[in-house]
Each structure stands twice: as structure tokens, then as C-alpha cells.
Amino acid sequence: MKVFATYNIKGGVGKTSTAVNLAYLCAREGRRTLLWDLDPQGAATYMFRVKPRVKGGGHGLVTRKRPIQTALKATDFENLDLLPADFSYRNMDLDLDDTKKRTQRLGQLLDGVADDYDVVFLDCPPSISLVSENVMHAADTLLVPMIPATLSLRTFDQLIRFVADSKGSHPEVIAFFSMADRRKRLHKDVIEHKDVFESIPRNRARVADTIIPALSIIEQMAERRAPVPAFAPTSRAALCYEELWAEVRPK
């Protein structure tokens, strides 16, 4: 089972859009796919038309009082299941802190469904927290969307150091520009001078070639409550997400 996590320290950079669209494309290929919405705001859960509710809440999952299998929900799309968000996830750090091997519990929970899924996506809240440390242990690959702006390199460098400082094995880190608008001079300059990221050792991270543009059709996901390739399969946005998935998907 391959585990991807869409993660960034900053919010509002396109993590949920990435998780929803790539999970859909993964399932469309015939892979048994699970998306776990770890963000208590529940945007991914909303887009898949599922109630943001887990019986027993995050505490029940983390303490294993509620088996993870009982929280899984089918979506409208074949091969794609959802582990919904729950507002109680806002306290998940506290729940994890009370467990043994507190940085590995989410990975242990996913081990319980390893025979049922080929690929798992974790849609993560924007933070540096105990949940984040669990994600570092559970994920094989971190997908890091970044708005092309001056502070992107600084934030990305902080993230890389956080990954490096995490104990245990470290996930592969793949960053990519998201919500990009080449009409903005700053965005254009950062994209065209992507070589500034070469200061980061190649064995620690890489920047994908695919750029996800800022398009209104991506914003329509919340209104349509569906992935872009499902309701606008020939759109530029859908093609960009397909290119990104082609770059990062398991071989």
C-alpha cells in the first residue's frame, strides 16, 4: 500500500483540491483508493457529499475503541472510499499524546486496512503538530503545494527541516506550484526562477514540473461537490492534475 499526504505548513495553498483530484484519478485507474480527511474543517469530506462525522470521533479511532473499518464511507466514485473528517479531530494531538508510540499511531491504524487498499491519500491540516509527526511516519510521499510567492522557499525550507528532524524513516518530498497566476509578475518570476530551490539537497526533496494554475473551475469543486476531472474532464485544470498524477503516481 502506497501512502501519499498533501501537506504544507501554510493553509490555503491547494492541499484539499490536490488530494481530492489525485485520489479520484488514482481510483479511475482501477486502484483501490482511500482518502482520509484529517482536517477538522472537513473540506474534502464535503466535496465527496459525506457527512463530517465519525462515531466515537478522533478519540475513538486513535484509542482503537472504534475500529477504523467502521468509519469508512463509500463515495459516488468506483474504487474510491473516504474516511471522513470529524470536528473532534481538532483535539487529535491530545488523543495521540496519550498513546504508546504516539508518533506512529496513524500509521498503525492504516496498517489495519493495508490489505483493502492500494493507495491512501491523507489530506492534512496546516500545522506543525503531533498529527504532522504521525503523517511523517505514515506517508511514503509528501505532496507539497506551494503558491509561487517570495515566502514559498522559506516555508518549504522549514518543512524540509521538520521532515529531517522527525524520527524514523522520512517520506519522499515532492513540491509543486499551485494556484499559479502567470499574469502576476511575482508568480511569474518565482516560477521562472525555480532554480532557487536547488539549494535544497536533491535527496531530500524535488520540485515537480507540473504547475497547477489558479482557475475558477477549481474553485467550482465546492459548488459541484466533485473532482474537476469528473465534471470537467477536458478542462485545462483536469489536464494539469492528470499531468501531476503522471509525475507522482506509483509505477
pLDDT at 10: 85
**Dist. CA 40–CA 104, nearest whole Å:** 20
The C-alpha cell at 229 is: 476531472
pLDDT band at 225 (very low <50, low <70, confident <90, very high): very high
Give the C-alpha separation, 8 to 128, whole Å.
9
Q: How many domains does the chain have?
A: 1
Whether the pLDDT of residue 3 is over 90: the answer is yes
pTM reported for the whole predicted model: 0.93
The 10s digit of each residue's pLDDT in 122-153 is: 999 998 899 999 999 999 999 999 988 877 77
CATH of the domain at 37: 3.40.50.300
**Domain housing 26:** 2-248
Largest CA distance in the chain: 53
Cell numbers of 150, please?
517570495
Are the C-beta atoms of residues 80 and 35 closer than 8 Å to each other?
Answer: yes
pLDDT (average), residues 160-184:
84
* Mean pLDDT of the region 227-251: 96
Instruction: Indicate the pLDDT class of residue 7, thresholds 50, 70 and 90.
Output: very high
Pairing of strands 80-83, 73-74: antiparallel
Label residue 23 by pLDDT band (50, 70, 90). very high
* Per-residue model confidence (pLDDT) at position 203: 56
